[in-house]
Structure formats: structure tokens, C-alpha cells
Amino acid sequence: MKPKAVVDYIRENQNNNKTLKSLFATQFLGKFSEQELAGLSKSIEKEIHARQQSVVDEKIAFLQSLGYKVEK
């Protein structure tokens, strides 16, 4: 299965608030061991952090383009 197909499949099984439907979570996530779920969680947290950092970097670049000095 290609990554896009996996993403589409998971999106189809989300509630309106973007959480997984209960039955899907039980059937899908139930197939993973606790260690595998912890690994997935770690990878997801890394991806979230990277995306948040890219937003911060974009805002810093925007402010610098306007002539502001940005320091942490």
C-alpha cells in the first residue's frame, strides 16, 4: 500500500474532530504492540515539532524581511 493510500484510509476513518473513530482505532491500533505504538507516537511528535518549527522559521523570516531583528 502506498503512503497516500494509507493517509486516505486513515482520513476516511476520522471523526469530525480529526480523532480516529472508535471502531477503527480498536481494529487498526489494536494490531500494534505497545512498543510499536510508542514508536509511532514518538515519530508523530517529531513530525509535529518539525512542522511547528517551520512555522516559527517562516514568521522569523517574514519579520526579518521587514527589517526587524529577531532574537530568542
Would residue 71 count as lying in a domain? no
Asked, for residue 70, whether it belongs to a domain, the answer is no
Q: What distance in Å separates the CA atoms of residue 8 and residue 35, rounded to the nearest whole number? A: 25
Asked if residue 36 is part of any domain, the answer here is yes
Q: 3-class DSSP state for residue 20?
A: strand
Q: Is residue 72 part of a domain?
A: no
Q: How confident is the model at residue 72 (pLDDT cuts 50, 70, 90)?
A: confident
SS3 60: helix
- Total domains in the fold of the chain: 1
Residue 9 domain boundaries = 3-65
Segment 22-39, tens digit of pLDDT: 999 999 999 999 999 999
Q: How far apart (Å, rounded) are the C-alpha atoms in residues 43 and 49?
A: 10
Q: Give the residue from 17, 12, 41 showing the smallest Cα distance to 29.
A: 41
